[in-house]
Amino acid sequence: MPRLQALLWDVDGTLADTEQQGHRPAFNAAFAAAGLPWHWDTSTYQRLLHTSGGRERILAWMAEVAQRDEGLAAELHRSKQQHYSELLRRGSVPLRPGVLALACEAAAAGLQQWIVTTSGRAAVAALLHNTPELEACFGGWICGNDVQRKKPDPEAYILALEHLKLPACEVLAIEDSPQGLAAAKGAGLEVVITTDNWSGGATALAEAALVVEHLSQGPVTLKQLSALLP
């Protein structure tokens, strides 16, 4: 039976509720600063989460309102990142329950841990800067800047496995979205899903090895995760 050697962590919605408490208000602040009459409420943003990547999400919205402008999208995304960093600096986006405990348990056990996200490197750095104990658990990051194709494409997870030099059967992914689940499964990984921000249907959840509302439910432990390996 394979032995668990590494954990691969998504960021947005998995490490912290950055989507609704961080990214969404930051997008809205960027729109307001640009004088645009756009506002993404909770349900609108939950729907837009089906598009991976911040700039790509703005472009998807622009397509809906018939106002596609790639230059403006890039400008808005830069502004949004500044607002997002400020929210993180103020401590407005706490870690999700159980994240720090599991990451520290894995680090103490000698497991490798990497971040695999479609977010940009600056956004990840801003989040981890405020949580040095968590940051110390990670050996590396695969971010949206590092790949040509974002989730649900498996490219980011395949790249992470190459860095780890481990087979997929010895690694677990921790995710919260249908796109992340599809990306990890596409790389041959078993996946733990936390459902607080789940935007997919119940059918897709059947693909996950474990489904919990959050990682403190139980709580989720390394012993439990090791039993999920094929």
The residues annotated as belonging to the active site are: 10, 12
Expressed in angstroms, the distance from the first to the final Cα of the chain is: 7
Q: What is the CA radius of gyration of the chain?
A: 17
Sheet with 140-142, edge to edge strand ranges: 140-142, 112-116, 6-9, 171-175, 190-194, 210-212
CB 65, CB 182: distance < 8 Å: no
Rounded to whole angstroms, what are the CA distances from 23 to 49, 83, 111, 158? Answer: 11, 9, 30, 26
C-alpha–C-alpha distance, residues 100 and 191, integer Å: 18
Mention every residue, 6+ apart, whose C-beta is less than 8 A from residue 213. 194, 195, 196
C-alpha–C-alpha distance, residues 43 and 223, integer Å: 36
CB 35, CB 42: distance < 8 Å: no
**16 secondary structure, DSSP code:** B
